Amino acid sequence: MSGDNTPLDDGSCPYRVERSVTLPYAPMSVTGARQRLCSDLRAMDIGDERVDDASLILSELVSNALRHASPLPEPEDTVGVSWRVRVDHRTATGGWVEIAVRDGGSSTMPRVARPSVSGLGGRGLGIVQSLAGQWGTEMDATTTTVWAILDIGVDDLSPRRPSGSGRRSAAPVADPASDDVVAVRMRVRESAPAWGALL
């Protein structure tokens, strides 16, 4: 996976990030892009439910591109994925996530299908439509881009971390079994580094 990005801003509101990646035209590529998107959204204190919605939108758009469209002409055998995120903890609107997938196009325009109840496929854009506030398609002579915008409400944001180190505070809890031992509950996200010191 290769691509460009603007890093998370310096912590001032609003948070912003833009990322663009080029993926191999293969089903296994969905996982890496989804992990990077989720990592960006969690770093911006977006709640798990909205992170899951954005992840599902990305998965459906990439899967549709792989299933129904040709790869990009340049670089060969690839599909392009990008997302832009803007979150402001100070406003009532919260923010938004825009996800776009670019491919080499197909003979038909991407559209919401109406599959039968027993049908195994055809629900991808219907899922995108139900989750996203807006979605659409842009086409030129050689490429098609399908995009979706997911609104982020203030209720979808985790409480803002205090400015400074960016680390969550830990509250000491006395261990009733010993006056010499203090247990510290660390509120650290899974896979995030944690530090400790004995003073």
Whether 67 is in a domain gets the answer yes
- The reported pLDDT for the residue numbered 35 is 93
Q: Which domain holds residue 42?
A: 2-156
Of the CA atoms within 13 Å of residue 123, those in its CB half-sphere come to 10
In tens, the pLDDT along 36-90 reads: 999 999 988 899 999 999 999 999 899 889 988 899 988 889 999 999 999 887 7
Whether 174 is in a domain gets the answer no
Task: Say yes or no to pLDDT of 1 above 60.
Answer: no
17 vs 152: CA distance, rounded Å: 14
- The reported pLDDT for the residue numbered 13 is 54
Mean pLDDT value across residues 18-43: 92
Asked if 185 and 74 count as a contact pair (C-beta separation under 8 A), the reply is no
Q: Is 65 exposed, middle or buried (0-12, 13-18, 19+ CB in 10 A)?
A: buried
Q: How many structural domains does the chain have? A: 1
Whether 80 is in a domain gets the answer yes
In tens, the pLDDT along 151-161 reads: 998 888 876 55
Whether 58 is in a domain gets the answer yes
In tens, the pLDDT along 89-148 reads: 777 778 999 999 999 988 776 666 565 555 455 556 778 888 888 988 898 888 999 999
- The reported pLDDT for the residue numbered 178 is 47
Whether 177 is in a domain gets the answer no
Whether 193 is in a domain gets the answer no
Cα radius of gyration (the chain): 21
Report DSSP state, residue 177: T
Task: Say yes or no to pLDDT of 181 above 80.
Answer: no
Rama region for 190: left / alpha / beta (φ>0; ψ in -120 to 50; rest): beta
42 vs 26: CA distance, rounded Å: 26
Whether 166 is in a domain gets the answer no
106 vs 68: CA distance, rounded Å: 7
For the domain that residue 41 is a member of, what is the CATH number? 3.30.565.10
Whether 182 is in a domain gets the answer no
